[in-house]
Amino acid sequence: MNKKSENINYHIGYWIFVILVLTRVFGFSWGNNTAAFFFVSMLLPIVLGTSYFFNYVLVPKFYLTKKYQKFAFYTFCMAIISVYLEIIILVISYIYLVNLSYQNLSPNATQIVLLAVIVYLLVFIGSFLLMMNQITENRLVIQALLDDKEKMKKSFLEIISNRKTTKIPYDDIVYIESLSNYIQVITVKDQIVSKEKISNLCSRLPDVFLRIHRSFIINTDRIKNISSDEVMVDDVFLTIGRSYRKAVKESLNNNN
């Protein structure tokens, strides 16, 4: 019963940091933070485009598939194009920011090699951070899969009912309902009562089970119909709790 959500705060935070650092570097050399900010703002789309093209196109499509020659060729082409675009930015800066006076440009800004180094330094720093983030996410996914595999090894839910250990096959469970200080496991054949807490069952059930309400956990394999506030499992209609609706929708969309 795992949930995965994508967080773009990492990307936003990184690029805000890049803008601040570059503005500070060029502003200190230039002696004009405002002009440096505009210069960096014009340079940023090139850095963004280069970084995401490298990380999300070249690396997965060529490097990770061991097509090293194509990876090297397209990386070289990307470098040429990005340097060419940098020159265009320099020309625009020359026209609009320093009133056609080349001498007023920052010494750092006039060195195209230095600009290229800065761009690719940012690209590779971003690549390293992205790689570390992906490694962490992959470890969490692998651990979740291992945990789910352990749960599925049993293929049954083990609970105490009438002071006896009862094993209920997962496939037989339609839904689980919490009633005051006990639960009912509704199966295709009968109802089994236990003094377990429904919250304790969540961590013991595989991903095929989904909590839709503070009182209900359903077997998603038995869903017959679903609306925004109600789900039908076998021939029973159950209410989706208001606070669970978003998570239920995301979970079922991911499973589909």
Per-residue confidence (pLDDT) for residue 73, from 0 to 100: 93
Residue ranges of domains in the chain:
9-151, 155-255
Percent of the chain past pLDDT 90, that is, above it, reads 19
In tens, the pLDDT along 189-207 reads: 889 999 888 888 888 888 8
pLDDT at position 26 over 90: no
Per-residue confidence band for 175, with pLDDT thresholds at 50, 70 and 90: very high
Per-residue confidence (pLDDT) for residue 211, from 0 to 100: 93
Residue of 76 and 5 predicted with greater confidence? 76
Mean pLDDT value across the chain: 78
| Fold held by 155-255 | OB fold (Dihydrolipoamide Acetyltransferase, E2P) (2.40.50)
pLDDT at position 3 over 50: no
Residue of 108 and 174 predicted with greater confidence? 174
Cβ(39)–Cβ(93) under 8 Å? yes
DSSP state for residue 13 in the 8-state scheme: H
What residues contact 40, with CB distance under 8 A and at least 6 apart?
19, 22, 23, 26
Per-residue confidence band for 119, with pLDDT thresholds at 50, 70 and 90: low
In tens, the pLDDT along 198-232 reads: 888 888 888 889 999 999 999 999 999 998 889 99
Number of C-beta neighbours around residue 206 at 10 A: 18
Task: Report DSSP letters for 55-113, one per residue.
Answer: IIIIIIIIITTT-HHHHHHHHHHHHHHHHHHHHHHHHHHHHHTSTT-GGGS-TTTT-HH
